[in-house]
Amino acid sequence: MSVHILMYPYPTAGHIIPLLDLSHKLLHLPRPAAAAAVTVTVVVTPENLHLLDPFLASSSSLQPLVLPSPEPPATPHPPQRRLVATVRALRELHLPLLSRWFESHPSPPCAVVSDFFLRWTHRFARDRGVPRVVFSPSGSFGLSVAFALWRDLLRPDEESAVSFAKLPDSPRFPWSHLPDVYRSYEAGDPEMERHREDALGNIESWGIVVNSFDGLERAYLDHLRKDVGHDRVWAVGPLLPAEGDGSSGPVDRGGPSSVSASEVLTWLDACPGGSVVYVCFGSRAVLNQRQMDELAAGLERSGVRFILCARQSSRGGHVAAGDVGAVPEDFEARVAGRGLVIRGWAPQVPILRHRAVGTFLTHCGWNSTLEGLSAGAVMLTWPMGAEQFVNAKLLVDELGVGIRVGEKSEKVPEAAELARVLAESLRSDLPQRVRAKEMSGAARDAINGGSSDKDLSDFVRCVDEQRRSKIQTL
């Protein structure tokens, strides 16, 4: 019998793609002769099914389980409650469908690996006698902060800051830098109490898989193991497409774009090594007009070569409705020859891996953080929300690979200062660049027979042992 794992990502590209990368690695893991084979079923909604195409083509042991998307809510939710409403809608729609599928399957999964937003799957797996493993698309620092918040219900002090005394080095964060959904928590609110109960299910789950690696977050991985009271915490990252024979990896990993990947890479080919700043705020965040105006002016004044990924949707919830920043009129004409603007999805991994890119101006989402670190880019941090302020602190204060640029709409850099930092960030002798190259090497070592490969093998071994133990007791 095979080790059949059900993978259940939160249905957005930034959460689906790393879980698909994990599935791909599991299915291509070198297997001792006595070890069981691995098969994977991935829960996916119809609009995201295309993300599986390259993975389905490479393995017959990967199968999709297509479940419907929830209907949009009849009444709009405030941004800070949108996640809670979406998770509830997924639970109500998918739980009965998953239950019927599980009970009718001839060889049901022996483990459920689900996104840390889908905390209700802890009870689903427990009721069926299989282990539930949390998949964290955030790092172990961010996950440690989330565990502390929901378990201890930490509140701000007189300086409007929150201290995490149980974490390594006791970090402190301004109240406004903590996730919106947590700051909106009200004791006694039934929906928020259910959300907190589900969050505690993450801590109680059988195991945790983190998209990180030992050389990046060793102290926080050790803290997580102590926090949950067991060693079933596996760091298996960075989960990225293999470069393979010097290629830049897959280029179609998201949505539509105004510029083809081949055009982007051709444009980069004409640039000197380490001369380009790549600017992207992820798949969800959108700048407001003031942020966009200062960013565009700073890029123009800096004189540097750059690629700007400009999203034109407010889905991310970080800007007020109607305040979606548009690229200034005639901007592209004024920077022609040294600036490229991409509207829509950018082929981020190949861009960052290109020899011409030296600096990454980022919102510090964890996928972007890992992609930039793995490529050895200097990281200019401009966090917008979620756990991004935690990631920015890691990059700047602990790893020494980053430089602070902005903080959502509270601290918008002035164009002149931004221009100076952009130009300075491309220096070859910058201390942050030296550290970035070291972290890139550590990331590469982790997934080439190092700590992450060993953790991945150990994860499969533990799941298989659990499966065999269950069979013996039947």
Q: Distance between CA 287 and CA 298 in Å, rounded?
A: 15
Q: Which residues contact 394 (CB under 8 A, 6 or more apart)?
A: 139, 141, 217, 369
| DSSP conformation class of 395 | I
What's the first-to-final CA gap in the chain, in angstroms?
15
455 belongs to the catalytic site: no
* Cα-based distances in Å from 160 to 147, 170, 176, 177, 318: 20, 16, 8, 10, 21
Q: Residue 66's CB: how many other CB atoms inside 10 A?
A: 12
Other Cβ atoms closer than 10 A to 48 = 21
In the set 4, 15, 122, 223, the catalytic residue is 15
Cα dihedral sign, 236-239-244-246: negative
Q: How many angstroms separate the CA atoms of 14 and 179, rounded?
A: 17
Q: How far is CA 365 from CA 47, 409, 416, 471, in A?
A: 23, 16, 26, 41
Q: Which of 4, 24, 94, 115 is catalytic?
A: 115
Which single residue is written with the structure tokens 């990896």? 249
Contacts of 87 (CB under 8 A, 6+ apart): 117, 118, 119, 120, 195, 198
> Which positions ≥6 away from 50 have C-beta within 8 Å?
none
> Is residue 15 annotated as part of the catalytic site, yes or no?
yes
In the sheet that holds 305-310, the strands lie side by side as 339-343, 305-310, 276-280, 357-362, 378-381, 402-404
Q: How far apart are CA 380 and CA 259, in angstroms?
A: 24
Rounded to 5 degrees, φ, ψ at 51 are: -65, -20
Indicate which residues carry an active-site annotation.
15, 115
